[in-house]
A and B are shown apart, each in its own frame.
Chain A
């Protein structure tokens, strides 16, 4: 079983809709989690960290459920510019473990 698993999609979503992704992880000792965004042929960029209490940044909300070992990302009022691949990431002392990413396409 892969350490971090995501549905690769693609998710085709109309502009303005709300979309949610989940990601599961296998290492229960994992302490830190992130969502990174990656545009086509570009480097990953940190979108937000995920804390146990959950956190919100504008239209984006991230949640961590340690009991079920999953992380979620909610995007409200989606924009065309949100089209990208969203990478679920586990942080550890040795670096980051990435999921394969979920491809999101926002359609006009």
Chain B
């Protein structure tokens, strides 16, 4: 499968715990994006990387959130001291840079904070 992959697919955690998600983009894509989606809403942009550089962060990305892409390939998204409001689907997407930004999404990681 040469699409975007994400692990784990589901994560249940207790409030206050830290969680980390991984995204492996399509190998030729040098842009990688993280989004969050809650029920009844469209995906909301969190952050994106071009190669290993994090170029943009949304105000939705609080200090408890950190994302890395150390070698310009896979990326991790960590949430520290999780809160119930963090429960959502976390989606990763990748693309080539370009005017039309056609992005391809992974299956997402569904986080439930109890």
Contacts and interface: CB of A to CB of B under 8 A. Distances in A.
Given A100-B41, A101-B42, A43 B101 contact: no
B67 interface: no
Contacts of A92: 101
Nearest to A8: B40
Interface string B31-47: 00101000011111100
B33 to A, nearest CB: 5
A42 B107 contact: yes
Given A98-B44, A100-B41, A49 B100 contact: yes
Contact of B102 (A8, A46, A97): A46
Interface in A30-88: 31-32, 34, 42-46, 49, 87
Interface residues of A, number: 23
Interface residues of B, number: 23
- Interface SS, A side: strand
Contacts of B48: 94-95
Contacts of A49: 100, 102
B107 A43 contact: yes
B101 A44 contact: no
Nearest to B31: A95
Contacts of B93: 96
B65 interface: no
Contact of A96 (B40, B103, B106): B103
Nearest to A49: B100
A45 B107 CA distance: 10
Given A32-B101, A95-B103, 8 more contacts: A42-B107, A87-B43, A91-B100, A95-B56, A96-B45, A96-B93, A96-B103, A100-B42
Interface of B: 33, 35, 40-45, 48, 55-56, 91, 93, 99-108
